[in-house]
Amino acid sequence: MKKIDQLMIETDGTPDKSKLGANAILGISMAAARAGAAGRYIPLYQFLADESDAPSKNFVLPVPFMNVLNGGDHSGNPMAFQEFMIAPTHATSFTQAVQWNAETYSALETLIQSKHGKTAVGLGDEGGFAPPISHPHDALDLLMEAIKVTGHEGKIKIGIDPASQSFFTADSKYDMDFKTDAPELLDATMLGDLYHCAVELVGDDLLATNVDRVKMGVEKKACNSMLLKINQIGTITEAIGAGNEAFSAGWSVFVSHRSGETTDDFIADLTVGMRTGHLKSGAPARGERVAKYNRLMDIECELAAKELRFRYAGTGFRGAHKDG
Ligand SMILES: O=C(O)[C@@H](CO)OP(=O)(O)O
């Protein structure tokens, strides 16, 4: 895989794959990884662990951050923030985590119907609901209520991907009402004040799964975690390299799907192989989203059947790669 990736990087010759295109070469890179695994008669996650130099004696199944409420550019409602995710950090296995999230998703549907009517349960781009709410607090209230009625209070945490570049204005403010004609402007400090505690701050477009940009982010102390999207960079070798650079800076790595996604489940194996401890792949709905969760449940079953050592990342998801 590394040799084929290197050949494609050299043939492209640009810093951003603008000649061949990251999506075009990614398919070849993934095929090379799958062929490598098949050639060695090992599962893909094992192959990717070897390629990442990750200890593969104790695999880690990730916490599934499921995007169950959508706003921003991913939905037609007026809410500025793009994704609200539920993360069952206190589950004891990946399979139980998926079950808890599916229960909460279903409770959320019932709640939205009772508050906003039947027409309000349409889905956003990543399978989350997109009810007619306008403020992030409304989304958080709905989520907290759904978590409570399913009996998972204190056991499921909440993550947010605001995608704030989509409501960043020319005069460096954040417009919380960017979809309407009545701007509600916050400056960077006011936006930061919405968070009341130390958070995992994940860099996405800023870093572009690119080792040089990760170095820049570390130097500027811009964040403390890297979102890993394989089609941002184009080859698996470089994606692993960027992830390892983030790890060596003391950051965490968070694997992600795209809003425009296929049913390919490669990132499930990559998450286990690199032991990133968390992944986001949308709601427990729609084939292209659940393909990753299904593959992860299969991996968990396979590891159990082979009596190999593995664990669910749980509350320690940010440092899952650290312990042997
Ligand atoms: O914002 C994100 O992290 C992704 C996936 O959720 O969306 P997009 O693919 O549109 O960048």
Confidence of residue 324 (pLDDT cuts 50, 70, 90): low
Instruction: Answer whether residue 113 shows pLDDT above 80.
Output: yes
Domain CATH number, residue 9: 3.20.20.120
Burial 285-313 (b: 16+ CB within 10 A, else e): bbebbbbbbebbbebbeebeeeeeebbbb
> For position 195, what pLDDT does the model report?
74
Q: What is the pTM of this model?
A: 0.95
Instruction: Answer whether residue 37 shows pLDDT above 70.
Output: yes
> For position 63, what pLDDT does the model report?
98
Q: Which domain holds residue 194?
A: 2-322
- 81, 259, 278, 279: which to mutate for ligand 1, most atoms within 8 A of CB? 259
Q: How many angstroms does the Cα of residue 67 sit away from the middle of ligand 1?
A: 11
Q: How many domains, the chain?
A: 1
- Pure H helices in 117-200: 136-149, 188-193
Q: Residues with Cβ < 8 Å from 151, sequence gap 6 or more?
A: none
Ligand 1 binding pocket includes 258 (Cβ within 6 Å): yes
Q: How many angstroms does the Cα of residue 258 sit away from the middle of ligand 1?
A: 5
Ligand 1 binding pocket includes 163 (Cβ within 6 Å): yes
> For position 182, what pLDDT does the model report?
84
Share of the chain above pLDDT 70, in %: 99
Ligand 1 binding pocket includes 176 (Cβ within 6 Å): no
Highest mean pLDDT, choosing among 72-81, 173-182, 285-294: 285-294
